[in-house]
Structure 1
Amino acid sequence: MAGGMILMAVLVTVLPVASAMILHGTIQSISNGSRFWFLRGNMVWNILPPYLLGTTIVVSVFVFITVIPDPGLVLLLVGTFPWIARLVPRLGGLDIAKPSNAFACGVAVTLAQLLAGASGPLLDVFYLKSSLNRYQVVATKAFTQTLGHFIKLLYYGGIASIAVDVIDPLLTPGLLVGSISLAVIGTWLGTRVLDRVAENTFRDVTSKIILALSAACIARGAWELFV
């Protein structure tokens, strides 16, 4: 899941925001969709209703306002949130299995995806303290991320791009096909690694990766805002 943040950070340095969002959304939709397919038997479906309610509210607002934002501030906030979650016990107890938390996750993650493109650290905070095993975590996150990236793709590839006409000519079918192929291969290899990782190791390593990437988000957001 962390790869999405790295990819977004790279894309926004070489493409306009809307084009970066479209390419990122395409790659991540396929990557997460294939990950979900490989692990579909582990999906926790009862999380979806409150999550989708939160997602629907955010999407409705974005369709109404039709904006392509500067991702700097949101990257800063997304990067800060996981650190706060580890400093404040109450936030650290967030659990995606609780309906209220799933709703909050839908709102926060969809908002982050549409504003900054990536939401990895923010999403992971809702899973680290849950009772779900690593297969359930990865499968459920993959499904909701597939949905979120597909929504982002539709928004920036349709509504937003029509409004501002900023699709970059570098965004060619060949680039899309090549990127998607690499994403599927990488996802398949990742699921094989998951079989070899112990539960405690998975959570510990995931937590450290989240914090490292969050620091990168903070640095990137500060650069966008103040430099």
Structure 2
Amino acid sequence: MQNERLRAAMAAGGWTCAALAAKVEVDPKSVERWVNLARVPRRATAMLAAEALGEDVHALWPALRQARSARAVSPELMALYDQRADVPVSVITDMLAQARERIDVLVYAAVFLHEAYPRLNDLLRERAAEGCGVRVAIGDADSENVRQRGREEKFGHGIESRCRLALMHYRPLAGAPGIEIRTHGTTLYNSLYRADDQMLVNTHVWGLNAYRAPVWHLHRHENGKIFDAYAQSFDAVWATATPVREE
């Protein structure tokens, strides 16, 4: 796994590994590992590097947001965001862009993705063309569970409208090789965004819109069980979902 965001930032500024290493006073091999192996530097070093590159340190290394006490409990927790609104969209899109085997998205609507990143469909097509399987499950606007979620959020029919808008965004992908789009009517306790062995879990809180609820950034670990529990949850919902047909 590579740190594509760091690679792009260095390329944009004309930085070589040796030059950045000299700037932050580390060995060039350390910088190479940051880029090619997605290693995370010490916080102080990361802040110096981010300042030199003119980037947000958490956009380059999301794991630096992690809650240390939580990390001690689970090796799978890379970062914990207070609310989804705090997660840079680049964290999600970079994660998807790095996927080589699997992308899974389970939401009611999440129209913020297409609004903030209009190339999302193109990105998913590109990943599928490279052999990455893509599955997207969005909420069925006519299901009782979606309507109930709207009542709980106090947004009325807003969520139903967002589900229909999400379907409009994703429908052009229906039938594309390697991509499956489905609608589901399940009670959704979390929105899931998976790319290979990374996953963002946007928890749902009664009475709050998802953008105000916390997000866990997980990385599958051989000694952990959290990632696989959410992955199995996705599969269970997927099995009940209805395929979206080409128009």
Tell me the TM-score normalised to structure 1 length: 0.25
Rg larger in structure: 2
TM-score (norm 2): 0.24
Structure number with higher helix proportion: 1
RCO (CA 8 Å, sep 6+): is it higher in 1 or 2?
1
